[in-house]
Amino acid sequence: MSMEITSGNFESEVLQSATPVLLDFWAPWCGPCKMIGPVIDQIAGEYSGRLKVGKINIDDNSALADRHGIVSIPTLMVYKNGEIVNQKNGAASKYDIEAMFKNFI
């Protein structure tokens, strides 16, 4: 299962993570976000221990969304060693999402 990322745990869970992190910037009112939500959760389970998966609700964490320049959702980002190494805007297939992080795990 994916974890909720907030301003309070962003540094420890994302920037200081020993494993790569897939972040999903989303909102409960976003149709495409709802479409990929189950896929994100499935990836979290399948890659447990090798990839950390977090969701950032932009309505509840607008400072994090602003900090990342989020202008459309869903936006997916991959962090490794505290740096953004990949990013994709819009809904994507499981295959395309996995391609974002496979080279980093």
Beta-sheet strand order (sheet of 3-4): 3-4, 52-57, 21-26, 75-80, 83-89
pLDDT of 49-105, one tens digit each? Answer: 999 999 999 999 999 999 999 999 999 999 999 999 999 999 999 999 999 999 999
Active site residue 33: yes
Residue 1 pLDDT level (bands cut at 50, 70, 90):
confident
Domain 3-104 -> CATH class: alpha beta
The residue annotated as part of the active site, out of 30, 36, 56, 92, is 30
pLDDT for residue 80: 98
pLDDT for residue 8: 96
What single-letter DSSP state applies at residue 73? S
pLDDT for residue 100: 97
Element (H, E) at 87: strand 83-89
The residue annotated as part of the active site, out of 21, 22, 33, 51, is 33
> Where do the domains of the chain lie?
3-104
Could you give the C-alpha distances from 49 to 21, 52, 105, in angstroms and in order? Answer: 11, 7, 10
pLDDT of 7-41, one tens digit each? Answer: 999 999 999 999 999 999 999 999 999 999 999 99
pTM of the model: 0.95
**Contact in structure between 37 and 92 (CB atoms under 8 Å):** no
What 3-state class would DSSP assign to 4?
A: strand
